[in-house]
Structure formats: structure tokens, C-alpha cells
Chains A and B, each alone.
Chain A
Amino acid sequence: MASENTNEIWREVLESAKVSVSPAIFSTWFSQTHLTKLQKVNNRYIAHVGCSSSFVKTTVESRYFGLIQDYLIKSLGEKCDLVFTVKQVPNQKSIQKEGEAAPLFKQEKIQEEEIARVLSQARIRPGFTFDNFAVSSSNQMAWAAAEAVSKSPGTAYNPFFMWGGVGVGKTHLMLATGHSLLKRNIDSNILFCTGEEFTNDIVEGIRNKTTQAFRNKYRKLKALLVDDIQFIEGKNAVQEEFFHTFNALIGAGGQIVLVSDRPPGDLAKLEERLRSRFEAGLIVDVAPPDFELRCAITLIKAKERGIEIPMDLIHIIAGNISSARKIEGFIVQLISEAKLKNSEITEDLIQLLLGKSIEENEIKKKASPNEYLSAVCKYFSVGKRALLGEGRARPISNPRQVLMYLLRTELKLPLQEVGRIIGGRDHTTVMHAVEKITHLASKDVQTRQDILGIKNSL
């Protein structure tokens, strides 16, 4: 029963009791009671009466049991039993909760503020920590190394070089390393910058004749985190300055973390002496996320936005979107769509958005439907004629459905158009196929590999 209701009933009982007993007795005993619970078992109510102390409990129970029972029966209109317990009145508790934490226990918060301040000083974007970094076999090595670096900066792996494609989590790992370094020692002097910012700083320094200030800024750091280091490639003055900064930092026991899209060996226009120095440390590649990792990322991102998505829907999203950033974008889209339409997040909604797709603004070489057709034929080793024919055996229908899925999601062809290409089929057939493959992609490893294989062969 709702709590207002129990409160209401109890107030009624107390009001009536007030009439029968003296004010002193009422304020000493009755006002110290409340109704904690009201249960109904077989046409009888069981009322749990909470008393503020054992004295109240024994007195009320031994002396006013009948009185309370009478009034309660009148209020409820049914028979009822009483159970007495010692329990503080709930509103008294709320007072203490409202009070702010005492200074001694507030520290955590102070520390957090402090951390936020130093984070912004170090130009580290908050929100990227090891806690919200999902790990699987594709990035395990990089993650373990980053953790080791954050635990013993300057000694574990120096320099620490990460490379990998777009959106695989390199920068996240680097920021998390910085975050954790600062958390361990709030006073450590750390700076996060991109290769481009480093370049701009030097140019600024040279133009304003403040190269000394630049050197002071970079060479006294405890840890320097440089994102997209490949941008200094081919810029001689910048490379020289970076070389000296690098030496000064390493000499003083500072930690250097670098991120690039290629391994140092592939940075063709990088000076030899820099390359050899980069190669002296630990070089780790971060591979694109696999399906399980994408699921984990989807979960984390959804949680960060404060929504819960059921596991099967997570699988659909992770199975159909390949990069972490796209997943994030998709979730934003999903939430705003759900809010706009005031509907819940359902499989249909996800299918709809997947159809519209995220790749709309992407510049991509679009293969023609025919190319897809031949790619699918080649991949599954089936004849074109059979694929477009009437046969409904699985070895043929499955590739056909994959083809429809690809035409629909990759080329955004209208349903009818897809139907026309696949040997003049009805648009509902296409709808069914797209739906089926979307579903399979979330569950079946084989299907995912097939789709990836076909995409790659184009």
C-alpha cells in the first residue's frame, strides 16, 4: 500500500486516540509511533506499528493495544492485527540525509574538483578514463601497457607509442593514462597536446621571439602526451624542436606517450633520429573493435547517456555499426528520435534508423548495384542467374538476402528498386530480407564476416 495512504490512516487513528487519552500521554507515547507497513492477508490486515524506542513499544503494546486496534478496525473497515516494532520515524531520518557531508567526509568531492582543475590545466578532456574503456583482445595489449605507464611513469615503457586506425580508442587510452597519472599525483605537471598544437606553439614562439617560454612549457613536464604525432612529419624545424624536447624530458625521467595512425617505421618523412627514438620504446597497435567490444562500447555509451538498452538490441546496433564513434553518434540519434516520437527504444526504431543510416554524410566511393551483385556472387560462389532466379533453397536465398541488405543499407536504394534488381521481387520480400539480415548480423558471426568480406572485396 502506498505510503501516503498508511500515513493517512495512521493520522486518522491518532486523531481519534487523542480524544480518549490525556494530552501528556498522547504526546509521550502516541506521537512517537507511526505505521510502517500495512499488509492484507486473507481478509485481515496486519499493521506494523513502528515505535521510536523500546519504552514506547512496551507501553503502547501493553496498555493501548485494544484502543489502537479498535480505531484501526474502524478506519480500515476490516479486521486487523497489530505488530509492534522499534523503528525511528522516517522523516527524522531524512533530516540527516539532507545535511551536507561533513568536511572530513567531503574530501572526495574536493579532490574531484581539484582533479577537474588540473585536468583542464593539462588540457585533458575529462570523461576519458580507464573505467569507461572497454577491453577485448583487439586492444588488450595497448590497455595493459597504458595502465603500466600510468602506474610507473617514466620507467615502465618510455616512450610509449600507440598506433592504429580512426576511432579505435587510441586517444581515449592516452587521455585515460593522463587522467590516472593526475589522480595518483595531483601535482604532477602533465600536458596533453596534438602534433598540430605542438607545431603551432613553435611557430608562435618563433614569431613572437618567445621560444624560451615554449621550452619552459614543454621541457619541464613530468609527462607529455602527444596525439597525432604524424603531423610533425616533414616539418624540419618542428621535428628538431621535438627532438630536443624529447631528449630533455627523457633525460629528466619524464614520460612520453605518442599516438599516431601509422607505426614509426611507416612515417616516411620522419627524421631518422626521431624514428629510432620512437622505436626504442614500446610500440603497440590498437586494432579496430571486434563485435564483442563494440557491444561493450554500446553499453557504456548508452549508460553514459543515461539510458538502458536491452541486450538483444545492443547486439543489433553493434552488429551493424563498425566503429566506436558511429556507435556513439547512433545512440545520440536513437535517443533524440525516441524522445521526439515519445516512444520507447524498440527494435523497429533501431531498424528504421539503421536503414537511414549513419553513413549518409560520409563521402564514400559508391559501388554500383551491379558491382555488389558480382561481389556477392563471387563471395558465395553462386551464379548470377541462380541468385536472381526463382530458387528458394538456402544456399541461394541467403546470399540473395545479403545482397538485398547491402543494396538497401549501403546504397540506400528504395525497396522497390532493390526488388527490381533482384529479379523483380516484391518490396515486402526486400523488407523481410533486410530485417532478417540485420537480425542475423547481431547474432551470427558468420553473417558478420560475410558482410565484411563482401564490403572489403568491393
Chain B
Amino acid sequence: MKLTVLQESLSKALSLTSRFSNPRAQLPVLGNILFSAKGNKLILTSTNLETSVVYSVGAKVEKKGKITIPAKIISELVSNLNEGQIKLTSEKEQLKIATQGFTSTISGMNAADFPEVPSQMDKAAGSLPIEPFLNALSCVIFAASNDETRPILTGVLFIFKDKELVLVATDGFRLSQKKIKVDGFKADLKEKRIILPKSSLTELSRFSKEQETFFLSYQKENNQVIFGFPDIIFSTRTLEGEFPNFEKIVPKISKIKLRIDKEELLKAVKLAAVFARDSANIVKIKVKEKEIVLSAESSRGGSQETKVDARVESEEKLGKDGFQIAFNYRFLEEFLHSMEGEEVEMKLSEQTAPCVFTDPKDPSFLHLIMPVRIQS
């Protein structure tokens, strides 16, 4: 392998691909990045056996070839080099790097040991504009669980419908659902439900911001989904298992409906958080005729109360004490951060039934939070 590549593009490619290599893996080759020169491209590949990324960089290739290099060493070296051309030459299991006034030799490993990863989009089942997709992802991904004892909840459910892609995530205490309009998918994705790990999607959203559209393909027999960008092929495994039946738990009736300014509610939640932190994160909400009162108290710290104006519609008359319900403030905070509108609509039915949060201007978004039980 012999080629010349620009430092800027190589550095960018390395910073991404090195994220997917794991230097502590038992198999040493998994801590490496595969360099392969082909045509007029340098292709970098890395994988952690759950996800893989294949990144193509434009280069002047003089001689084809392949080698794997420890990710940490090469990315640290290249990121500290000056902008400009870099010459890469492989010799047996060593890679030589040369720029003006700098040379280095890194020992690598035989490329034959590197696992096979999907490097091509064979047949794309649909394409999506990236911006609405990333927006939708940020609306749901925070609700996915981090708890490995329920692996299925650490994923985000993708439901491919006719003209719609539905994303759902839940950790068992709250649930977020967002729908995106799409042009439609090919047959092998239609009506499919796929669960993708939260961690892969976080990575995906990190590097794909600058992109415009991407292609999607699902390989059922390999339990794999491939995202294709112009220069990047990203693959992730799907999670096997049954996603809980979330449609059933969305309450269909509500007794109290209220609308609140989002910023004011967020402020009130943050104020409540000061004391709620000491008392199991509980913030109580009292719904009254024209306002809601958020309160939190801790036995050591003290207590607080914030009134927020709200437009309340209730089927039953709210008494002097109003309707009481309690939430974990962190769930409220994370939800309020994720939504974009200026107003929040809350639908309540019972103290033990989940509360429905929506954006009145955006019917495609739905969030559920399970209240905390309080002794009255």
C-alpha cells in the first residue's frame, strides 16, 4: 500500500472510526483500524462487533494494499500533524507515515485477521432526510433505558409504516413517541418493527449532523441495519426480543387537560429540583382552576412552592386542594428539554395513571410519564 492523503480529511476520518475500535478488546485486532487503498480511495474500517463504520477518504493511491493499525496511536499522531499532504506506505506489518519534517513507523497487524464488515449498501430500502430524523431521535432517545437487565428497553423501536416512520423509546417509567413523514419504504422494510440499540443511535446522531440524507437497509437474516451516507457506511445490530406493547398503555381518556408555557414550567421544575434532589426526586403538582402549583420539600433542606399559570379544563370540579399528582422531576426536565414548542399540553386522568404530555402544535409527538405514588 502506498498513497498520499490530506491530513484534514484523514484526521476527521480517524476521529470517527477510532470511536468504534476497542483497545481493551480481548482480540487485539479489534483495537485497530483497517486501512485499505483501492481505486483512488483510502477506506478506513473499524468495528466493536456490535456496530461498524466504513469511512472513505479521497486519496492519491499509487499501490493497492491493506493493513490494520492501532487506532489510538494513529489518531493521536495524525491529529497533531500540520495540515497538508501525508504519505502512507505499508511494508509487511508496518505503516510508515511521512510529512514534511516528520516520519514515523507504526507496527500494525495483518489485515486478514480483521473481521468482515458490511462495506456496501447492497439494496437500499429507503432514504430519509437526516434533519427530521435526528430531531425525532433526540425527542425519543433520552427515554430509552440504560439498564442492561432489560436489554430490549435499551433500544429505540422503529416502526416502518406506509408513509410514516414511528420512533418509540421507553425505560418503563416514561415513554416517548415521535412520528416522521416519509416517502415510503420498499417492501422489505414495510410494516417492520426493528429495535436498534440506543448507544449506536447516539453515535449515529453524533457524526451524521453534517450529512443531508441517508439510505437505510435491513438485513433480517443478519439482524443488522445499515445506514448509508455518501462517504460512510454505518452498520448496527438490532436487538432481538419483543418490545412491550406500548400502544395499550397510552391512556385514551383524560379527566383534566391543561396547557402551560413550556419555559415557565421548566423554570418551576428546576426550582423544585433544588429540594427534590434530597427526597427521591419527587415534585408534587397541584392542579387548580387557573394555575398549577409545583412543590418540593426535603426533610433537611426545606421546601418551596412555585405557581405557574395554566389553562385548565376539567370534567369534574377541582376542589380547594385541586388534583394532586407527583412526578420524578428528572423525567419532567428531560422531556421539557427535548421538546421544541412553546406550550405543553398535559392530560391527566388518575393519580396512578400515566400523564400524557404533548406539544399542541406538533401532533406527531407524544410523551408519557408514570407518576410517583404519594400517600395522601
Contact = CB atoms under 8 A, between A and B. Distances in A.
- A, B bound: yes
Contact of A104 (B28, B30, B50, B173): B173
Interface string B145-170: 00001111100000000000000001
Interface stretch (A54-62, A164-172, A206-214, A383-391): A54-62
Contacts of B170: 102, 104
Given A55-B117, A110-B352, A104 B172 contact: yes
Interface residues of A, number: 31
Interface string A40-73: 0000000000000111111100100000000000
Contact of B173 (A23, A28, A102): A102
A86 B249 contact: no
Contact of A96 (B28, B50, B52, B241): B241
Nearest to B145: A102
Contacts of B237: 53-54
B27 A88 contact: no
Nearest to A31: B26
Interface of A: 23-25, 27-29, 53-59, 62, 85-88, 92-93, 95-96, 99, 101-105, 107, 110, 114
Nearest to B371: A103
B354 A104 contact: yes
B174 interface: yes
Given A28-B27, A54-B118, A102-B153, 10 more contacts: A54-B223, A93-B240, A96-B241, A102-B172, A103-B370, A104-B170, A104-B175, A104-B249, A107-B353, A114-B352
B26 A86 contact: no
B49 A56 contact: yes
Given A55-B47, A96-B150, A24 B222 contact: no
A104 B115 contact: no
B123 to A, nearest CB: 16
A93 B242 CA distance: 10
B240 A104 contact: no
B219 interface: yes
Contacts of A102: 150, 153, 170-173, 244
Contact of A93 (B171, B219, B241): B241
B172 A105 contact: yes
B210 interface: no
Contact of A59 (B28, B115, B118, B153): B115
B116 interface: yes
A128 to B, nearest CB: 25
A107 B173 CA distance: 11
Contacts of B222: 54, 57, 86
B115 A58 contact: yes
Contacts of A28: 25-27, 30, 49
Interface of B: 25-28, 30, 47, 49-50, 52, 115-118, 149-153, 170-175, 219, 221-224, 237, 240-241, 244-245, 249, 352-354, 368, 370
Contact of B174 (A27, A101, A104, A110): A104
A103 B50 CA distance: 29
A99 B244 CA distance: 13
Contacts of B49: 28, 53, 55-56
B295 to A, nearest CB: 23
B151 A96 contact: yes
Contacts of B221: 85-86
**Top 3 closest pairs, chain A to chain B, by CB:** A102-B172, A54-B222, A28-B27
Contacts of A103: 172-173, 370
Given A53-B223, A58-B116, A96-B152, A88 B354 contact: no
A27 B149 CA distance: 22
Contact of B219 (A24, A54, A105): A54
A55 B354 contact: no
A144 B103 CA distance: 90
Nearest to A57: B222
A88 B115 contact: no
Nearest to B30: A28
Contacts of A104: 170, 172-175, 249, 354, 368, 370
A87 B27 CA distance: 22
Contacts of A93: 240-241
A105 B244 contact: yes
B105 to A, nearest CB: 25
Given A55-B117, A105-B249, A87 B370 contact: no
Contacts of A88: 240
Contacts of B118: 54
A119 B339 CA distance: 41
Nearest to B118: A54
Nearest to B236: A53
Contacts of A29: 27
Contacts of A101: 172, 244
A59 B116 CA distance: 7
Contacts of B52: 55
12 contacts: A23-B26, A27-B26, A28-B30, A53-B224, A86-B222, A87-B223, A101-B172, A102-B153, A102-B172, A102-B244, A104-B175, A107-B354
A176 B210 CA distance: 61
Contact of A54 (B27, B28, B224, B245): B224
